[in-house]
């Protein structure tokens, strides 16, 4: 954990002579710098900025990607607002996000606190916890599909062996959502635990020592020092899991196919977009869904941000929450 104080703003114009004021000479004087940063901006212009505007344009059309584009105005959006399949996908996405994020954050905190103790083989454990995160989700979705398979899966075999009823994991509404959530939890818990651990390790011993000198009881140190100092890291985890959760695609697509399984119970927002644009070849509607996703994610991100920063101001919501869990 190097401390950020290294970043003192000493940046003399390393190019040398005092900059001439003439604007016209900027390009000729600084052409190597502009050239050096240009690849990103060129790629962004072509594959980032232009597609955004273009997708807005497409969303006002009826287009299969090959034939003629027909201007339809806002009717794709009107259709979207009344499309039960779309709202089903939105609901599914949020349910899966909630089912996976809450246990994941709790388990990750628990793991981080335990790893923070003086235990042996810490390096080895960290590798094991991180492994799920770097592994291809296609391969692992296939593995989970077999583990949770309705008739022959490992989980149902275990349940049967224990004389319990087997669960239709891949054919029932909730079974599907739970299975997908389990995959997400499996993949991200270790990752977040390692980030939380780094956050714990970054807290200076001096802070604790000062608190101890002041005679603060241990629970107070935990709630007023450890958790507040950990909050930025928790915020980071919430934001990344929100981005990942709302963009969920690989897990349901590999596990259940393009249609999201029986009753579309595993249809997520991005899977629905893919389904409409690339299996139905409805590019106009696919683009409209893309914009709807953008707006929904934006609103959700702002809500998330507001909630967490408000908690930040008036004290200790998130620490209280974590304490309850322990």
Residues 24-63 that bind other proteins (CB under 8 A): 26, 30, 32-34, 36-37, 39-41, 43-44, 46-48, 50-52, 54-55, 58
Q: Are strands 70-71 and 61-62 parallel, antiparallel or unpaired?
A: antiparallel
Applying CB under 8 A, among 228, 244, 247, 262 the residue interacting with other proteins is 247
Shortest Å, Cβ 306 to other proteins: 16
Tell whether residue 139 is a contact of other proteins (CB under 8 A): yes
Q: For residue 71, list its beta bridge partners.
A: 61
Applying CB under 8 A, among 18, 67, 82, 118 the residue interacting with other proteins is 118
**Site size for other proteins (CB under 8 A):** 125
Q: According to CB under 8 A, which residues from 199 to 218 bind other proteins?
A: 199-203, 205, 208-209, 212, 217-218
Look up residue 160 and give its two tokens. Answer: 């049967």
Look up residue 20 and give its two tokens. Answer: 């001439």
Shortest Å, Cβ 67 to other proteins: 13
Nearer to other proteins, 73 or 218 (CB): 218
Tell whether residue 131 is a contact of other proteins (CB under 8 A): yes
Shortest Å, Cβ 141 to other proteins: 9
Residue of 187, 184, 157, 186 lying closest to 169 (CA atoms): 157
Q: According to CB under 8 A, which residues from 8 to 27 bind other proteins?
A: 10-16, 19, 23, 26
Q: According to CB under 8 A, which residues from 66 to 105 bind other proteins?
A: none
Stretch that binds other proteins, among 82-90, 162-170, 241-249, 302-310 (CB under 8 A): 241-249
Rg (CA), the chain: 25
Stretch that binds other proteins, among 78-86, 92-100, 170-178, 219-227 (CB under 8 A): 219-227
Look up residue 196 and give its two tokens. Answer: 């939380």
Nearer to other proteins, 95 or 182 (CB): 182
**Contacts with other proteins, 148-187, as mask; x by CB under 8 A:** ----x-x--x--xx------------------------x-
Shortest Å, Cβ 290 to other proteins: 5
Applying CB under 8 A, among 70, 280, 299, 323 the residue interacting with other proteins is 323
Shortest Å, Cβ 15 to other proteins: 6
- HEC string of the chain equals CCCHHHCCCCCCCCCCCCCCCCHHHHHHHCHHHHHHHHHHHHHHHHHHHHHHHHHHHHHCEECCCCCCCEECCCHHHHHHHCCHHHHHHHHHHHHHHHHHHHHHHHHHHHHHHHHCCCCCCHHHHHHHHHHHHHCCHHHHHHHHHHHCCCCCCHHHHHHHHCCCCCCCCCCCHHHHHHHHHHHHHHHHHHHHHHHHHHHHHHCCHHHHHHHHHCCCCHHHHHHHHHHHHHHHHHHHHHHHHHHHHHCCCHHHHHHHCCCCCHHHCCCCHHHHHHHHHHHCCCHHHHHHHHHHHHHHHHHHHHHHHHHHHHHHHCCCHHHHHHHHHC
Stretch that binds other proteins, among 79-87, 94-102, 243-251, 305-313 (CB under 8 A): 243-251
Q: According to CB under 8 A, which residues from 259 to 298 bind other proteins?
A: 270, 273-274, 277-278, 283, 286-287, 290-291, 293-294, 297
């Amino acid at each position: 954990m190097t401390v950020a104080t290294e970043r003192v703003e000493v940046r003399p114009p390393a190019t040398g002579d005092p900059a001439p004021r003439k604007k016209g000479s900027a390009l000729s004087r600084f052409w190597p710098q502009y050239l050096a940063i240009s690849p990103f901006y060129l790629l962004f212009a072509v594959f980032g900025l232009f597609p955004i505007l273009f997708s807005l344009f497409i969303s006002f059309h009826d287009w299969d990607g090959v034939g003629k584009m027909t201007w339809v105005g806002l009717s794709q959006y009107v259709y979207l607002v009344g499309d039960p399949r779309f709202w089903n996908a939105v609901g599914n996405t949020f349910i899966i996000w909630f089912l996976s994020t809450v246990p994941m954050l709790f388990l990750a905190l628990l793991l981080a606190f335990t790893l923070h103790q003086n235990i042996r083989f810490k390096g080895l454990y960290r590798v094991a916890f991180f492994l799920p995160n770097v592994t291809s989700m296609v391969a692992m979705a296939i593995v989970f599909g077999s583990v949770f398979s309705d008739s022959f899966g490992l989980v149902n075999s275990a349940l049967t062996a224990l004389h319990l009823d087997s669960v239709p994991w891949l054919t029932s509404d909730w079974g599907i959502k739970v299975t997908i959530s389990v995959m997400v939890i499996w993949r991200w818990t270790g990752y977040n635990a390692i980030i939380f651990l780094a956050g714990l390790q970054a807290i200076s011993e001096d802070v604790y020592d000062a608190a101890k000198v002041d005679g603060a009881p241990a629970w107070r140190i935990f709630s007023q020092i450890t958790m507040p100092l950990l909050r930025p890291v928790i915020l980071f985890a919430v934001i990344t899991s929100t981005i990942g959760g709302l963009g969920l695609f690989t897990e349901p697509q590999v596990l259940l196919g393009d249609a999201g399984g029986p009753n579309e119970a595993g249809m997520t927002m991005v899977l629905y977009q893919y389904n409409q644009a690339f299996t139905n070849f409805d590019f106009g509607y696919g683009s409209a869904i893309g914009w709807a996703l953008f707006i929904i994610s934006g609103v959700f991100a702002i809500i998330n941000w507001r909630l967490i920063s408000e908690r930040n101001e008036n004290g200790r919501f998130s620490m209280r929450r974590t304490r309850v869990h322990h």
